Structure 1
Amino acid sequence: MYFNSGYLNNSRLDFKDYTKPLVVGSCGTYRLKKRPMLPTYWKKGRRDYQILYVASGKAHFWFNGIEEIVDSGHMVLYKPKEVQKYVYYVEDHPEVFWIHFTGYDVKNILEYHGISLNQHVFYSGTLPEYKMSFRKIIRELQQCEYGYEDYIASSFNNILLLVSRQQQNGENYTVTIPEEIEMAVSYFNENYNTKISVAQYAESLHISTNWFIRNFKQHMKISPAQYLL
């Protein structure tokens, strides 16, 4: 199982914070490889809000005791104190990003971006920008550099803005990323601390270096070398 996460002030405790409009408390991602299943159950919910983005595959959620299978290109919203029950199964090939947040203006921010507080599942589409933004937030939470609290709040706002744009475009609008690029992004994120040759990586996939660099930049808006940095 691949797992990566970051926590505000390195604390895993959920909390309320009404000193700012929006405060990101934690962010992370799961991708099952060999582990057969990964269940989560919060009987009394949490004190903060949570959004889960199903980036690929699917995940199983229970709302009011009824199971709902959520496919990629959708997000799930949990409000404070809501029962949270969901399971990832390896055969569904799930890749899920999650983020916990609080703040005195959360309700207005969500409603501004067209996210209803009365529904759990909403359409988001699949965009490479989502993964990039979530990974930036995780990295910022891990590194805790100057101003990172404001940076991650701004990044999350950008994610919500993209969601509202996708909803306006409708569910027929989607962006398909070549499998080779998806594989590269996952590989780079899991092995960023090792020396990686872009040319050798492309060769290992039996594709030309020029094709790989051109398509990577087209879909990720950044070159492979810049992404690794």
Structure 2
Amino acid sequence: MGYQLLSDTVVLLDHKAAVDKIYSNYKFYDDSVVSASLKSQLFRIVSPYDRKNTVSDDVGQDVNRRRSKKKKVVEVFDETTEKVRSNHSEFLKLSNLPAPTEECDNRTALEFVDGFNRDDRYDRSKTYNGANNTQFVVLAEFASQSFLIPPNCRFFNSEVSNLANLLAPDDRFDFVVLDPPWWNKYIRRTKAVNSKISYQMLDNNSIGNIPLGDYVHENTIVA
């Protein structure tokens, strides 16, 4: 995993840099492919997702101020959450991220993800499992789409509720990126247009029942 040490307590994990390094340092099984990289649009996130980046009028600013005041009253954090919140604030100060503007916001990334979610060529209800045991990057075809499989890895494309059926009892992860399929209005609206697109949502109880704790060790990083 690519990373940048910002301070004694803050480390910036750079997913794009790590993946790009794999696809540029290893040879491809198909020698007609020289290198590959993740689309930069997907990582153009310059402000929190729920921030109204394009609101610039006085009314919008007043609404944001009222929301901020309300949050200050109701937000009470436990010790662990407060520590994470403090480290995140330190990260924002050290990372020198550009201030969001109408010309520099999350729109590019959101449009990219929206296009991906609306693509119904890929049947997300099917399960694809496999492994690449070679020293090469493999270009594979599933459901009429191309996928890059890194060297020396296993992969699972399945409902997260099937996790226990896909992993061995002694499997442990060093690094876990946790992005559960929360129940939300946007996905419900998207699926109302076409039931085949986007992901299947899970309620909080179903997400809480995922046995993630069975597949981590004492030094596992969960992000």
Fold match by TM threshold 0.5 = no
Larger relative contact order, structure 1 or 2 (CA cutoff 8 Å, min sep 6): 1
Taking structure 2 as the reference length, the TM-score comes to 0.24
**As a proportion of its length, which structure holds more strand?**
1
Taking structure 1 as the reference length, the TM-score comes to 0.23
Larger Rg, first or second structure (1 or 2): 2
